[in-house]
Structure 1
Amino acid sequence: MKVRQLSESQGLSYSNLVILSLYAVFLGVIVGLIDAIFGRVLIGLSEYRDQHIFYLVPALPLAGLLIVYLYQKFAGKAAQGMGLIFKVGHNEEDQVPLRLIPLVTVTTWLTHLFGGSAGREGVAVQLGATVSHAFSRYFKLPNASRIFLTMGMAAGFGGLFQTPIAATFFALEVLTLGQLSLPILVPTLIASFVASTTSHLLGLEKFSHFVSESLTIDLETFIKLALLG
Structure 2
Amino acid sequence: MKKQLSAKQAVDMIPDGAVIMCGGFLGCGTAHRLMDALAASQKKDLTIICNDAGLLEGPNGEAYYGVAKLIHNHQVSRLVTTHIGLNPEATEQMNAGTMRIDLLPQGSLAEMIRAGGAGLGGTLTKTGVGTLVEDAKDYVVGRQNIDGVDYLLMRPLSADFALICGQQVDEEGNVWYAGTARNFNQVMATAADIVIAEAEQLVSVGEIRPEDVQTYGILVDYIVNGGQDDE
Considering the TM-score relative to the shorter chain, is it more than 0.5?
no
Structure-1-length-normalised TM-score: 0.30
> As a proportion of its length, which structure holds more helix?
1
Structure with greater contact order relative to length (CA < 8 Å, sep ≥ 6): 1
> As a proportion of its length, which structure holds more strand?
2
Structure-2-length-normalised TM-score: 0.30
